[in-house]
């Protein structure tokens, strides 16, 4: 086995995903190099250059890293995707980091760290951006009052909404409506 392949397995290096797969002879399972499962003993590892070879030899795909799927997103990417989905579906409700973490079965600290590393913003920043984008849409395409818009997108009062909106957009909600609709 090439030393760089062994190093990739030990370090769970996703840069080698698709370049090779490895089977563990003692378990009969094959994985991607990025798999976070326990590092096997080097003498029990067999290298494969495509995902069909291990199946032909009787290995079954790992349930954690799913080497049998051609497109694969990491556990971190899946967590972020689920967090975005939950926040997008519930942006008008009060949802804190702890609530979100409980829904996703992870710790708040871990969620915050992974979300920020994958998106360059915190979950609360994402949620705020989602609310502001929805507010802009409501301001331009409905006749709702600013208080109704604020409540609709999850703000508790219009004063706070107006302050946050101005900070993010550069205009008050009313000025934004006037500037873009003329009414």
Written as one string, the DSSP assignment of 49-86 is SSSSHHHHTT-EE-TTT-TT-SS---HHHHHHHHHHHH
pLDDT computed for residue 70 by the predictor:
64
Tokens 């990417």 correspond to 77
Ranges in the chain, pLDDT < 50:
none
CA 123 – CA 125 distance, rounded (Å)? 5
Q: Domain ranges for the chain, please list them.
A: 3-61, 73-183
Q: Is the pTM of this model over 0.85?
A: no
Assigned fold of 3-61? DNA Methylphosphotriester Repair Domain (3.40.10)
Residue pair 48/22 in contact (Cβ under 8 Å)? The answer is yes
User: Residue 29's beta-bridge partner residues?
Assistant: 24, 60
Which CATH code is given to the segment(s) 73-183? 1.10.10.60
pLDDT computed for residue 73 by the predictor:
56
């Amino acid at each position: 086995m090439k030393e760089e392949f062994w190093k990739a397995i030990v370090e769970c290096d996703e840069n080698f995903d698709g370049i090779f797969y490895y089977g563990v002879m003692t378990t009969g399972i094959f994985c991607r190099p990025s798999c976070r499962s326990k590092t096997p003993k080097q003498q029990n590892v067999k290298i494969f250059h495509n995902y069909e070879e291990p199946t032909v030899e009787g290995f079954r795909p790992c349930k954690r890293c799913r080497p049998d799927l051609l497109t694969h997103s990491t556990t971190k990417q899946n967590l972020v995707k689920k967090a975005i989905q939950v926040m997008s579906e519930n942006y008008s409700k009060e949802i804190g980091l702890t609530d979100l973490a409980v829904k996703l079965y992870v710790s708040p600290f871990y969620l915050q760290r992974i979300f920020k590393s994958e998106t360059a913003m915190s979950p609360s920043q994402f949620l705020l951006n989602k609310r502001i984008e929805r507010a802009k849409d409501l301001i331009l395409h409905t006749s709702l009052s600013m208080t109704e818009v604020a409540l609709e997108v999850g703000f508790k009062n219009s004063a706070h909404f107006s302050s946050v909106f101005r900070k993010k957009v550069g205009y008050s909600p009313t000025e934004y409506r006037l500037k873009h609709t003329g009414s």
